């Protein structure tokens, strides 16, 4: 994982089966968000 603190915390969860991480982009990055199939605030 790119974030060592997150990786350490997640690895301490004994019975973790799934990890879902949500990401969103600001409206200025709408083109990138659409191309990468991620959410952008304008869609909410």
What pLDDT, on the 0 to 100 scale, is given for residue 39? 67
- At residue 41, what are phi and psi to the nearest 5 degrees? -55, -35
What pLDDT, on the 0 to 100 scale, is given for residue 26? 77
What pLDDT, on the 0 to 100 scale, is given for residue 14? 94
CA–CA separation, 36 vs 24, rounded Å?
Answer: 11
Per-residue DSSP letters for the chain? Answer: ---HHHHHHHHT-TT--------EE-GGGHHHHHHHT-EEGGG-
- CA-wise closest residue to 26 among 9, 10, 43, 12: 43
Cα dihedral 19, 34, 24, 41 sign: negative
Q: What is the pLDDT of residues 1-44, one digit of tens each?
A: 467 888 899 999 999 999 888 777 777 877 887 788 776 666 55
What pLDDT, on the 0 to 100 scale, is given for residue 32? 80
């Amino acid at each position: 994982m790119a974030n060592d603190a997150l990786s350490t915390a997640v690895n301490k969860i004994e019975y973790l089966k799934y990890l879902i991480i949500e990401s969103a982009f600001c409206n200025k990055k709408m083109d990138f968000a659409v191309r990468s199939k991620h959410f952008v605030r304008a869609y909410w």
